[in-house]
Structure 1
Amino acid sequence: MQRLRVIDLLHRFRGVFAYSRIAFYDLDPRAMNSYWYLIGLLALLCSVVGTEAQAQSGTGTLVGEVVSSSGDVLPGVNVLIPAENQGAATDAEGRYRIEGLSPGSYEVQAQFVGFRTETTTVTIEAGQETVQDFTMREDLVQMDEVVVTGLGQSVERRKLSADVGVISANDIEEAPVSSIDQLLQGRVPGSSIRAQSAQPGQGALINFRGITSVFGSQTPVIYIDGVRVDNNSGTSLSFGGESTSALSDLLTNDIERIEITKGGAASTLYGSDAANGVIQIFTRRGQEGEPRVTFRTEQGADFPVTKFFRDTGFSFASAVEDPDSPDFGRDSFIADEILDTGYTQNYYVGVSGGSESVTYNVSGRAQNGTGVQPNNENTLYALRGNVQTEVASDLNVSFSGAYTRSNFSRVNNGTAIADPLTAFEVGDAKFFSGQGTLDEALELFLLPTIKEGVDRFTLSASGTYAPSDLFSSKLTAGIDSRVNEQRRRNPSAADPLTGNEDGLLTRFDRNYKSVTLEYVGTVSYPREGRIISDFTFGVQGFREDISTILGEGETLIPGSENFGEAGSVIAQETQSEIFNGGVFVREQIGIDDRVFINAGLRLDGNSSFGANIGLQAYPSLGVAYTISDEPFWGDMFGSVITELKLRTAYGETGKFPEPFARDFSFQSTAFRGNAAPRFFNPGNEDLSPERTATLEGGFEGAFFDDRFALNLTVYASRTSAALFDVPEPPTSGLGTQLRNIGEIQNRGIEIDTDATILARDNVRWALGASYGYVKNEITDMGGVPDFNLSTTVSAQQRISEGEPVGAWRAATPFDSNGDGLPDASERRFTGSTPYPNHTGAFTSRLTINENISIFALADWATGAEVFDWGSHWAQFNGLVRAERTTQYDEDGNELGLFSTEEDGVSLLQNGDYLKIREVSVSYRLPDAFLEPLRLSSASVSLAGRNLFTFSRQDLVDPELAGITSGGGLQLGGAQSITLSPPRQVRLSLEVTL
């Protein structure tokens, strides 16, 4: 862009000043005086500026405005003149300006994510402003959208041979959520995203395309601005089946977009830790222009969901129905005395703007909520900044950083004896507390306190160097530091619940740090002609350090909160370090801008590999063909199929073993005041990563003049060298050892559709739907006998060849003598899993008069069964909460109901559900109202979340992941009396100056 900047003028004035002094001094230093000096300086300055003006007068300027087809202004649109390598981005009002153009005709393009690229020809005249406005149509297929994840470089979607999902800024703005895991629900086809409970600090269990491992978390790897961050969904002690998640403090503030790969071919370049997929988060950057200040406030209420409670009218029926009982009439004690309406307030301030060479975006957020259960208050403070600067014409540097501080409190949950919800729902409250009334029992259950604080700091720095169109490179470095401190205090008065007479203080600290370093270079040659090429190479590495400290202090004086005041303290500490690094190359060849062939390879090393492994190679290969760009397409199919891309891809990724699994190791144990070593792990020098190979194919198409879009993917993946615990010979005394001997397969289909139902000048209505199916199977266990991941009293999540990972095997009544009456029980495979295999979502977007927007989202899942611990415990109080089978003897005589230990299938509740997840209505104030107030924009919105739940049973919330499995694999699927995420209502106001 040829434009005289302020800094250029200053440099020229300085040069002119020096020249003027020399000139006058040489002429006649003795006669020089201030008057003539000033006249000479001004004359020379006028000469320079006049020369600049003359140069500019020989050029022209292109200006204009860019709006959407519905009339909305579009900030951030790139308006480019490719032949001159010049361009500009539209400002907050959708206007652009390109100066210093030589006279002539040019092809001009307007490009923007989510819209079709618009191209036109303009004629520039010397000394004139040429006006060229653009109206951009939404692109349902978004072939021109640029993505980065999994490719090592920015590339248009039309060139992708594997599916990469994108959640745009518009998607984020319309969602009434605050964390990343909530945002993903219903927006990623083929995913299972299940919340844990209603308590603060909890994150969801996330799974893409089935279970790929028997050991280890299934959570995808997460990057923010190129930096790997903590993604652990269990970072604290659970105290009854729930744990703090690192996902809960990944906020949606200032996110520009999210890119998602679900493992497979699109994740190959991430190597030995990408089998579960990759989530890339890109934060919002400032735009050139005057500072824009945005203020947003959100006020709301949370309402407890009581659909899955029978309350004390069921669990304490005799007491609440007896007029002489002190608990008479308290049949809804849980709803009335334990649960309550919560209140939330949220405040946000952001400032963005910048010059042609430096842009910035800085924001802060404060939030407070009281929760719907006792002791569930939470506060959060967050700061984020993002700065980009053009150091030189070929060098750009950017920095981004965020700090989050959150504090919250909880009550005991689920399987903990001190959990008030379970105790009152199943009839145990008086028994465990030793109290005579419900009120007295509740007072005792609420005495223990659980508090936690989390400090998180993330920093990213990157530099992009592009000396020519033929070569570009990018260097990224960053850190993520997350520290959480958890405390539970049980006062001595709670002895009937804890068994401790003098009080107990439990503290758990976890310290996580990761460092990421990545360099990527791309050589683009040739760039023109029928065949073009992009060769990408790079190196990537990260180091992850985790340390934990667990301590318990006994014998506390009233009010004591510190270990130093405890009578005795027991503590333990763990530390782990992992380094993963790799180099990769990728070649992409384009033919006629329609066919794109890519091949890649990553060589990976990891500190968890055995000594005999060395580098692991992960290849990829893919083809994308936009067949609708062929000359014959328009005449033959253009009226029906507007755009169609076919794609197929193959790729391999991995999952490395846990730290120290390869090592022959010992542990030290305290014994009689001394440290005594004992055997811990036999080690395996041949330990290697699990390898997941995926073959996928599909198409993306737009139909009926872009009124209907369809994205379909079919995939098959196989995890080889799967890790299983193999028993060592009994005489060795080595127990079991991880070995790479298994095989797991996942096959599935993903469909995503979007349809424009109505498109008028003042009304636009679009509907969307998605569907995902996955079939999981363990095809080879390498001779290892069947084993359980988790065991309940009557059902297990089983690992067995020919069945899905974690398939339910439950005690099942059956007829042993052929008389048609159940008289015996045995464990059988139920045919179901703890996680769903069919998932989907529906969306609706309605825009009226450009100012009113109505959005709704519903998501659903089927195919899972959920174990109901509450109904098991209720039987000990003579309560039948879940319907059980009647038992008979061999002679046909009725014996009563099978116990839950013999009738475990009665505790496996149907896991199908449909949830009205989000509904929002927003109104953008018209310009006529904004101008007198000097506001750039203003909007008000009313939103609801978790509004309604439809299920086939009302004993457990089928969405909740619940208690996790053993061995690090988190399948969920087992619940006590766990409270559903609350029904939320939010009213928000946002203004931009």
Structure 2
Amino acid sequence: MKTFQTVRGKLSGQILLWVLLAMSTTVYGQQSPITISGTITESGSGMPVAGASVFIENTSFGAVSDFDGNYSLNAQLENKDYTLIASYLGFTTQRITISITGDDLEKDIVLAEDLLSLDEVVVTGTGTGANRRSLGNAVASVKSKDLTNNGATQVDQAIAGKVSGALVQQNSGDPAGGISIRLRGASTISGSSDPLYIVDGIIISNSSNELIDLGGNSQNRLADLNPNDIDKIEIIKGAAAAAIYGSRASNGVVQIFTKKGKSGEPKFTFMTNVRLNELRKKIDYNTVPLAWEVATDRNNLATVEVERYDLQDAIFDTGFGLENYFSVNGGNEKTSYFLSASHLDNEGIVQNTDFKRYGFKANLTQKAFDWLDITGGFNYVRSISNDVPNGGINSAYGAITGFLFSDNSIDPTPDESGVYPVTSPLVARTNPMEAVDRFDFNQKTNRVITSIA
């Protein structure tokens, strides 16, 4: 019986081997040996591009163009659609969909220069590309994937920790609160040390004019830009940036390039994020159940029993956020487009604070002639925020300032008539619970950014 089982096992293994060979032969029989060839030229001049890499995505078949720009690759492929990729240093990578039918295929490829993405070449205010080594400035680049994979809701937040020498500080815990970027340190005592911001070649203002002082809680108008719509950011930190862009660039330049359409079938992207905002750590507060009988009398050392309150519970809370993003891009060799719509609703860690942003972006590129490309961009953003002032040295009202100067032996809750008690009898400051519950500060901004190139 044991011998029979051994022979049976050998027979079963041989039968399985023959079945697998037959299946592999069948699969191989469905593949067709074809030749894909063509010429790779440069957009505009029509000059051949030598040394360009051409390969079929997700396969091992590829080739390199010769001195005349010609390429030819032999492949064993099934009869279906594939993606042909052509790339070369200094040019935009082209992704072309091809259909394999068993016959040889000729496909000419045109590569467009992409000076913005080169490590050696950057775009300056002169309108032409410049070599990094000859520019004399420190230039840093941040790609799209680095901006969106970190949970940031604003562009300036997304830059934090990604550029050497750039100090990014958040001025408040407000979801739309101000964030300062210092590329070369503080350059003035009373003036602004903010860098110059340029979006698709258009200088934009990052200031936030307010009708009332929010006590150190001014917004950044970079909050109007969605990081998902940005292709890359280039930062010039050198002092010579002022020689290119003028005196306004004495603190550095932040160049923002938004996404544009790419030729090919329409590509849809939908993304939704759920956010949870919590206070990282509470600070220590007075928990001694005793207080001076007369706080202003230094000679009276008598104490009384009191109840201590954690005023941080009256200010901070867990905030939830939801972000939805949808985009579509595509086109052909003549026309390409990029459309996106987004919605952000983000609550802050301070109670009754939130930030809402609704955005729509459209970008259209039309090839009018071989030597002329026309690009038009339109970006509309509506931002709405509910804020609670932080307060400050010169601002008597504010939740944080009120917390710092309050006597936590005083119950901050209002009485039956709705009147909030004074929690800082020695210094005139606001009851922090009153600041959170009653102060109604909000900002609404409608912003349109357009560009034509």
Q: Please indicate, yes or no, whether the TM-score normalized by the shorter chain is above 0.5.
A: yes
Amino acid at match of 2:37: T
Task: Spell out, residue by residue over 1:319-363, the C-alpha distance to the aligned partner (whole angstroms, 9 max, x if none).
Answer: 9xx9985xx4x54341x3331110000000001111111111110
The residue that corresponds to 1:250 in the other structure is 225
Question: CA 1:185 to 1:361, structure 2 compared with 1: closer, same or farther past 3 Å?
Answer: same
The residue that corresponds to 1:241 in the other structure is 216
TM-aligned CA deviation for residue 85 of structure 1: 5.7
**Aligned match of 1:363 in 311, 316, 340?**
340
Question: CA 1:420 to 1:169, structure 2 compared with 1: closer, same or farther past 3 Å?
Answer: closer
The residue that corresponds to 2:177 in the other structure is 202
- Equivalent residue of 1:190, what SS? coil
The residue that corresponds to 2:48 in the other structure is 84
- Equivalent residue of 2:314, what SS? helix
The residue that corresponds to 2:10 in the other structure is none
The residue that corresponds to 1:435 in the other structure is 421
The residue that corresponds to 1:390 in the other structure is 367
Question: CA 1:258 to 1:92, structure 2 compared with 1: closer, same or farther past 3 Å?
Answer: farther
CA contact (8 A) 1:389 1:396 kept: yes
**Aligned match of 2:310 in 332, 335, 346?**
332
Superposed counterparts of 1:539-688, under 5 Å: none
**Aligned match of 1:453 in 440, 444, 449?**
444
- Over the matched positions of the two proteins, sequence identity in percent amounts to 28
TM-aligned CA deviation for residue 458 of structure 1: 0.3
Q: Structure 1 CA distance, aligned partners of 2:363 and 2:52?
A: 20
Superposed counterparts of 1:683-702, under 5 Å: none
Superposed counterparts of 1:168-247, under 5 Å: 168-232=143-207, 235=210, 237-247=212-222
The residue that corresponds to 2:248 in the other structure is 273
The residue that corresponds to 1:423 in the other structure is 402
- Equivalent residue of 1:298, what SS? strand
Question: CA 1:451 to 1:175, structure 2 compared with 1: closer, same or farther past 3 Å?
Answer: same
TM-aligned CA deviation for residue 150 of structure 1: 4.1
Q: Structure 1 CA distance, aligned partners of 2:36 and 2:214?
A: 70
Amino acid at match of 1:220: P
Q: Answer yes or no: is 1:110 the counterpart of 2:87.
A: yes
- Equivalent residue of 2:281, what SS? coil
CA contact (8 A) 2:315 2:351 kept: yes
CA contact (8 A) 1:412 1:419 kept: yes
Amino acid at match of 2:145: N
Q: Structure 1 CA distance, aligned partners of 2:55 and 2:359?
A: 27
Q: Answer yes or no: is 1:61 the counterpart of 2:41.
A: no
CA contact (8 A) 2:230 2:257 kept: yes
Q: Structure 1 CA distance, aligned partners of 2:54 and 2:144?
A: 16
Question: CA 1:258 to 1:162, structure 2 compared with 1: closer, same or farther past 3 Å?
Answer: same
Superposed counterparts of 1:876-887, under 5 Å: none
Q: Structure 1 CA distance, aligned partners of 2:183 and 2:254?
A: 11
RMSD: 4.4
- Equivalent residue of 1:231, what SS? coil
Question: CA 1:355 to 1:340, structure 2 compared with 1: closer, same or farther past 3 Å?
Answer: same
Question: CA 1:216 to 1:107, structure 2 compared with 1: closer, same or farther past 3 Å?
Answer: farther
CA contact (8 A) 2:139 2:236 kept: yes
The residue that corresponds to 2:327 in the other structure is 350
Q: Structure 1 CA distance, aligned partners of 2:39 and 2:69?
A: 15
Question: CA 1:259 to 1:318, structure 2 compared with 1: closer, same or farther past 3 Å?
Answer: same
Q: What TM-score results when the alignment is normalised by the length of structure 1? A: 0.32
Q: Structure 2 CA distance, aligned partners of 1:427 and 1:215?
A: 31
Amino acid at match of 1:188: V
Structure 1 unaligned spans of 5+:
1-58, 65-77, 118-126, 132-141, 463-993
TM-aligned CA deviation for residue 92 of structure 1: 12
CA contact (8 A) 2:386 2:442 kept: yes
Q: What TM-score results when the alignment is normalised by the length of structure 2? A: 0.67
Superposed counterparts of 1:38-77, under 5 Å: 61-62=37-38
Q: Structure 2 CA distance, aligned partners of 1:187 and 1:452?
A: 30
TM-aligned CA deviation for residue 297 of structure 1: 0.2
CA contact (8 A) 2:147 2:228 kept: no
TM-aligned CA deviation for residue 413 of structure 1: 1.4
Q: Structure 2 CA distance, aligned partners of 1:91 and 1:404?
A: 41
TM-aligned CA deviation for residue 160 of structure 1: 3.8
Amino acid at match of 2:268: V
Amino acid at match of 1:455: N
TM-aligned CA deviation for residue 155 of structure 1: 4.0
CA contact (8 A) 1:150 1:261 kept: no
The residue that corresponds to 1:152 in the other structure is 127
TM-aligned CA deviation for residue 246 of structure 1: 1.9
CA contact (8 A) 1:363 1:385 kept: yes
**Aligned match of 2:141 in 143, 146, 166?**
166
TM-aligned CA deviation for residue 392 of structure 1: 1.4
The residue that corresponds to 1:407 in the other structure is 384
Question: CA 1:186 to 1:400, structure 2 compared with 1: closer, same or farther past 3 Å?
Answer: same
Q: Structure 2 CA distance, aligned partners of 1:368 and 1:290?
A: 32
TM-aligned CA deviation for residue 306 of structure 1: 3.0
Q: Structure 2 CA distance, aligned partners of 1:461 and 1:436?
A: 57
Question: CA 1:246 to 1:441, structure 2 compared with 1: closer, same or farther past 3 Å?
Answer: closer
Structure 2 unaligned spans of 5+:
1-34, 73-85, 94-102, 108-116, 293-302, 413-418, 425-429
Q: Structure 1 CA distance, aligned partners of 2:367 and 2:53?
A: 15
Q: Structure 2 CA distance, aligned partners of 1:94 and 1:400?
A: 34
Q: Structure 2 CA distance, aligned partners of 1:81 and 1:61?
A: 21
Question: CA 1:444 to 1:218, structure 2 compared with 1: closer, same or farther past 3 Å?
Answer: closer
Q: Structure 2 CA distance, aligned partners of 1:198 and 1:375?
A: 12
- Equivalent residue of 1:361, what SS? strand
The residue that corresponds to 1:927 in the other structure is none
More strand by share: 1
Q: Structure 2 CA distance, aligned partners of 1:169 and 1:147?
A: 17
Question: CA 1:410 to 1:436, structure 2 compared with 1: closer, same or farther past 3 Å?
Answer: closer
